[in-house]
């Protein structure tokens, strides 16, 4: 019996072992085959690593990127990092059954992950980052239960994060940043007790941050930056994250307050919550975060004062609170943060003065206080912090002088912003000692004196903004010094009316990198030097509001990068040079208020990038070139106050995105084109003071964005269309001094317009508040309508009735003739010396005359009825009942008169 049981058991074991015995054993040759398949799927090997090294003549374990285990001599690691390989991953890789590490990061593999990789059950480290892999993140990754690190960053994976990833019990690092992953964050991820880091930034994740229900003692870093996460931060979340060191949740849509439980994370070093919609005050307990180094909570809706406890965090290196609604004074305790490198509270509501204790921060590199209400002088100690690279005091109420030695002790200063304050005194000459300065900006102050001629010592200068001060410069000599700044890109010194002088030709020697040059309202005289055409990379040129004379230089046409030109409010003469039409990137052209003349160049239609065209207040004297309607992206057009003639372009509707169009004070004629209906974005339209005729188009009522409409001082006729009542945004309306008639619309915005909008139109009638005669009834819509009514209605009625009377009269006459013919023997004429003087029936001639008179009176009465039917006002016209009554009376009178004469 025992032997039987033994054999039976052996049979069962043999039966279930047959597949194993019959299966071909896996060997190093299997690994070799899998790797050669990978080589075949690589279409580009720029360093020839696989081509020259992966060969059957060389042992697999000696191949570059391959590592084998010492026990089984099987491939345990494959690392092809950074070889520039291009290709796809073959399914054969699933046969590397001993593989524990697979890294192909920083290559150009594409396509989907083969499902056969799910067989790599020994895999602990998988790094596929920085490739072009796509498709969904496969759910089978959840079956790789030995996995510790999963790196899929910087690929093109989409869809959502599979729930199965939450079942990897040994996972420590989950790195999925910079893909196109959407959906919500699975709560199952926070069930992995071994997890140390979650990096999901730069994806399309949405929904709220999942709650945590268990202690995650190993989790140190959570990065959700640059997603679309919404909702509140879970209140008790941080009760389960006692060892977290970094929270990176900026650039989302998170709302609500910062939970007080956050302050329990005693090891927290990095807190980044900027660019969200968080609100409320900062937790007073924030001072408990004694290890905190970086604090980024800018661009939210925080309010209140900075908690004093924050300045107990002595390890703070960065405090970034900009663009909130924080208020109060800057705490004096800031001087205790000796390790502080960056302090930014820009764009808040802070008041008071700058604490002089900031001068104690010997490691400070960036100081941003701009956009507040801070007043008083700038503490001198700040300009002794030799580590400073950026100072931003823009848009405050700072006053007083700047220290004369402000540049002497700032060897690392790269950016100085002092604009929009109340600073006075001369320009600090010592600023030229800050040799590393790149940005120097101090517009909108009361700085006086001469612009230093040693600014050329700032050889790294790229940005110089001195606009809106009281600066002077003899002969604009400072420009000569600036020619030494070969990297200068932006130069603004406009709104300094004391500069005066001519623009020298050496302006053409300024940096070849110069992109913006603005010098408007500086009392610059003379002509524009042709050398300005040497600034080949110039994007913006603004010389408006000066006293420039001469013509527009043709050399400007050579500035191929130019996007904005303003030469307005000068005394320039001549025509627009055709060379300007070569500026294919030009988006803004302003030549307003000069003495330019001649025709508008047809080639302006070639400036297909043009968005704003201002040519008003000149002496142009042509029609609008038909080519101008090719500017399909034009937004603003001003041709006012010229001598332009002819009709408006019929294809005016091609300016489909135009919002402002001012054609006033010219000599345009003809009708308003019907294409105006296509200008759906139009908000401002003026045709005043021209010679426009015809009617106001009803289609104006379809321009629902219109807020300003001026058609005054033209020869428009007809009525004001009631369709204009639909223009709910219309705030200004003027049709005065035309030949309009009829009732003024009363609905919509017309309730708010005064008589000034309608005067000079004698035939208009309207509401009593306009002091115009009231309208008895609605007049005919067009003056031709009355004529049509007479021709097509009244006259046919009158003619028909008249014919009927004549027929009646003829029939009566025939009867009388028949009667007379039977009585011819009864009477005969009597003759005298004067001819026929009597008859037997002496009243016959008088009878005939009286009959004719009765008929004439009848016809006149009928015509009178016809005229009454065609009265201009509807309530003055006869209705059908009145017409029938009057015609019956006329008939009765006719019959009575004719009977009487018989």
What pLDDT is recorded for position 769? 76
pLDDT tens digit sequence for 223-257: 999 999 999 999 999 999 999 999 999 999 999 99
Q: How many CA within 13 A on the CB side of residue 131?
A: 28
What distances in angstroms separate CA 442 from CA 392, 449, 483, 502, one per listed residue? Answer: 10, 14, 20, 24
Segment 5-22 shows an average pLDDT of 35
* Domain 330-446: assigned CATH number: 3.80.10.10
330-446 and 451-549+562-571+587-594 share one fold: yes
**Confidence band for 612, pLDDT divided at 50, 70 and 90:** very high
Residues 6+ apart with CB under 8 A from 462: 438, 439, 487, 488, 489, 490, 513
Our measurement of the distance from residue 548's CA atom to the centroid of its chain's CA atoms, rounded to an integer in Å, reads: 35
Which stretches does DSSP call E strand in 451-513? Answer: 463-465, 470-472, 490-492, 501-502
Segment 531-548 shows an average pLDDT of 97
Q: Which two tokens stand for residue 246?
A: 């970094």
What pLDDT is recorded for position 802? 55
- 631 vs 771, residue with greater confidence: 631
**Confidence band for 326, pLDDT divided at 50, 70 and 90:** very high
What pLDDT is recorded for position 405? 75
pLDDT of 825 over the 90 cut? no
What pLDDT is recorded for position 780? 44
Question: CA nearest 117: which of 147, 87, 160?
Answer: 147
Q: What is the CA radius of gyration of the chain?
A: 46
> Alpha-carbon distance 42 to 189, whole Å?
34
Buried b (16+ CB within 10 A) or exposed e, 82-101: ebebbbebbebbbbbbbbbb
DSSP symbol at 103:
E
What distances in angstroms separate CA 128 from CA 177, 436, 696, one per listed residue? Answer: 12, 42, 68
> What values do phi and psi take at 457, rounded to 5?
-70, -20
Which range of 9-18, 171-180, 753-762 scores highest in mean pLDDT? It is 171-180
> Alpha-carbon distance 149 to 126, whole Å?
6
CB distance 617 to 641 below 8 Å: yes
3-state secondary structure 47-59: CCHHHHHCCCCCC
Question: CA nearest 518: which of 463, 457, 572, 594?
Answer: 463
Taking the alpha carbons at both ends of the chain, their separation in whole angstroms is 158
> Alpha-carbon distance 223 to 195, whole Å?
13
pLDDT of 577 over the 80 cut? yes
**Confidence band for 321, pLDDT divided at 50, 70 and 90:** very high
**Confidence band for 848, pLDDT divided at 50, 70 and 90:** low
Question: CA nearest 150: which of 132, 176, 130?
Answer: 176
For residue 415, list its beta bridge partners.
Answer: 390, 439
pLDDT of 154 over the 70 cut? yes
Phi-psi region of 290 (alpha: psi -120 to 50; beta: other; left: phi over 0): alpha
pLDDT of 664 over the 60 cut? yes
> What values do phi and psi take at 702, rounded to 5?
-90, -5
**Confidence band for 10, pLDDT divided at 50, 70 and 90:** very low
Q: Which of these CATH numbers, 3.40.50.720, 3.80.10.10, 3.40.50.300, 1.10.287.40, describes 451-549+562-571+587-594?
A: 3.80.10.10
Residue 10's Cβ-count burial label (10 Å; 0-12, 13-18, 19+) is: exposed
CA angle 574/577/581 to nearest 5° reads 150
**Confidence band for 857, pLDDT divided at 50, 70 and 90:** confident
Segment 868-895 shows an average pLDDT of 66
H or E segment to which residue 169 belongs:
none
Q: What mean pLDDT is reported for the chain?
A: 88
> Alpha-carbon distance 32 to 75, whole Å?
9
> Alpha-carbon distance 330 to 786, whole Å?
79
For the chain, what are the domain ranges? 330-446, 451-549+562-571+587-594, 776-812+842-902
pLDDT tens digit sequence for 467-520: 999 999 988 999 999 999 999 999 999 999 989 889 999 999 999 999 999 999
Q: What is the pTM of this model?
A: 0.78
Q: How many CA within 13 A on the CB side of residue 183?
A: 14
pLDDT tens digit sequence for 262-271: 999 999 999 9
CB distance 583 to 606 below 8 Å: no
Q: What percent of the chain has pLDDT over 70?
A: 85
Question: CA nearest 196: which of 229, 170, 214, 176?
Answer: 170
Sign of the dihedral defined by the CA atoms of residues 9, 13, 16, 19, in that order: negative
CB distance 471 to 444 below 8 Å: no
pLDDT of 734 over the 60 cut? yes
What pLDDT is recorded for position 856? 67
What distances in angstroms separate CA 306 from CA 310, 398, 657, one per listed residue? Answer: 7, 21, 47
Cα-based torsion angle of the residue sequence 797, 801, 802, 806 in order, rounded to the nearest 10 degrees:
150
């Amino acid at each position: 019996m025992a032997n039987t049981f033994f054999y039976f058991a052996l049979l069962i074991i043999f039966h279930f072992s047959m597949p194993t015995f019959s299966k071909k054993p896996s060997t190093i040759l299997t690994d070799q085959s899998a790797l050669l398949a990978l080589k075949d799927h690589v279409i580009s090997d720029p360093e020839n690593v696989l081509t020259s090294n992966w060969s059957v003549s060389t042992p697999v374990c000696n191949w570059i990127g391959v590592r084998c285990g010492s026990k089984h001599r099987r491939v345990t690691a494959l690392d092809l990092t950074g070889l520039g390989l291009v290709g796809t991953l073959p399914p054969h890789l699933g046969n590397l059954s001993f593989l524990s590490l697979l890294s192909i990061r920083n290559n150009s593999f594409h396509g989907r992950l083969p499902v056969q990789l799910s067989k790599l059950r020994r895999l602990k480290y998988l790094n596929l980052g920085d490739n072009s892999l796509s498709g969904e993140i496969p759910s089978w990754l959840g079956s790789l239960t030995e996995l510790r690190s999963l790196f899929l960053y910087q690929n093109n994976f989409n869809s959502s994060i599979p729930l199965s990833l939450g079942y990897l019990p040994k996972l420590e690092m989950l790195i999925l940043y910079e893909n196109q992953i959407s959906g919500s964050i699975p709560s199952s991820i926070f069930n992995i007790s071994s997890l140390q880091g979650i990096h999901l930034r730069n994806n399309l994740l949405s929904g709220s941050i999942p709650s945590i229900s268990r202690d995650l003692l190993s989790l140190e870093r959570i990065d959700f930056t640059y997603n679309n996460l919404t909702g509140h931060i879970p209140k008790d979340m941080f009760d389960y994250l006692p060892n977290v060191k970094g929270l990176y949740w900026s650039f989302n849509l998170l709302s609500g307050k910062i939970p007080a439980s956050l302050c329990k994370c005693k090891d927290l070093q990095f807190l980044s919550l900027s660019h969200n919609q968080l609100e409320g005050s900062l937790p007073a307990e924030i001072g408990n975060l004694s290890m905190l180094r970086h604090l980024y909570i800018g661009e939210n809706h925080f309010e209140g004062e900075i908690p004093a406890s924050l300045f107990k965090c002595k390890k703070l290196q960065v405090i970034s609170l900009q663009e909130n609604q924080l208020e109060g004074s800057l705490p004096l305790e800031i001087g205790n943060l000796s390790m502080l490198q960056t302090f930014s509270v820009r764009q808040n509501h802070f008041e008071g003065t700058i604490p002089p204790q900031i001068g104690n921060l010997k490691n400070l590199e960036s100081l941003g206080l701009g956009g507040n209400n801070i007043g008083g002088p700038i503490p001198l100690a700040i300009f002794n912090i030799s580590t400073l690279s950026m100072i931003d005091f823009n848009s405050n109420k700072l006053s007083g002088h700047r220290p004369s030695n402000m540049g002497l002790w700032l060897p690392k200063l790269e950016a100085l912003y002092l604009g929009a304050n109340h600073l006075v005194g001369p320009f600090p000459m010592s600023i030229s000692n800050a040799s590393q300065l790149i940005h120097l900006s101090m517009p909108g102050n009361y700085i006086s004196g001469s612009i230093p001629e040693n600014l050329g010592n700032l050889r790294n200068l790229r940005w110089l903004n001195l606009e809106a001060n009281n600066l002077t410069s003899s002969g604009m000599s400072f420009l000569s010094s600036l020619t030494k700044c070969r990297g200068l890109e932006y130069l603004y010194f406009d709104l300094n009316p004391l500069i005066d002088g001519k623009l020298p030709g050496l302006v053409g020697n300024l940096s070849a990198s110069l992109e913006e040059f603005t010098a408007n309202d500086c009392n610059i005289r003379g002509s524009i030097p042709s050398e300005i055409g040497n600034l080949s990379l110039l994007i913006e040129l603004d010389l408006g509001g000066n006293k420039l004379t001469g013509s527009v230089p043709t050399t400007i046409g050579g500035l191929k990068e130019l996007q904005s030109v303003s030469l307005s409010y000068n005394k320039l003469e001549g025509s627009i040079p055709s060379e300007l039409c070569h500026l294919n990137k030009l988006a803004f052209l302003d030549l307003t208020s000069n003495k330019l003349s001649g025709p508008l160049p047809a080639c302006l239609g070639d400036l297909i990038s043009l968005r704003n065209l201002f040519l008003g207040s000149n002496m142009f004297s042509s029609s609008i070139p038909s080519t101008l309607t090719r500017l399909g992206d034009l937004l603003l057009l001003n041709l006012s106050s010229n001598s332009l003639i002819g009709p408006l372009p019929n294809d005016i509707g091609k300016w489909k995105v135009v919002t402002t169009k001012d054609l006033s004070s010219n000599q345009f004629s003809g009708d308003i084109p019907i294409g105006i209906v296509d200008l759906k974005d139009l908000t401002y339209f003026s045709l005043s003071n021209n010679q426009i005729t015809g009617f106001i188009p009803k289609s104006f009522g379809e321009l629902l964005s219109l807020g300003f409409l001026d058609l005054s001082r033209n020869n428009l006729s007809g009525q004001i269309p009631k369709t204009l009542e639909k223009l709910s945004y219309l705030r200004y309306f003027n049709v005065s001094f035309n030949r309009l008639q009829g009732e003024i619309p009363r609905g919509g915005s017309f309730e708010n317009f005064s008589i000034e909008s309608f005067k000079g139109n004698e035939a208009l009638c309207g509401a009593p508040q306009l002091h115009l005669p009231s309208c008895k009834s609605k007049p005919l819509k067009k003056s031709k309508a009355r004529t049509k009514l007479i021709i097509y209605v009244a006259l046919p009625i009158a003619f028909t009735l008249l014919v009927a009377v004549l027929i009646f009269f003829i029939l009566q006459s025939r009867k009388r003739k028949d009667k007379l013919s039977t009585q011819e023997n009864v009477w005969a004429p009597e003759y005298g010396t004067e001819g026929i003087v009597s008859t037997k029936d002496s009243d016959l001639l008088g009878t005939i005359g009286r009959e004719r008179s009765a008929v004439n009176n009848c016809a006149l009465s009928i015509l009178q009825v016809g005229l009454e039917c065609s009265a201009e006002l509807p309530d003055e016209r006869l209705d059908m009942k009145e017409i029938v009554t009057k015609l019956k009376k006329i008939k009765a009178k006719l019959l009575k008169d004719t009977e009487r004469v018989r």
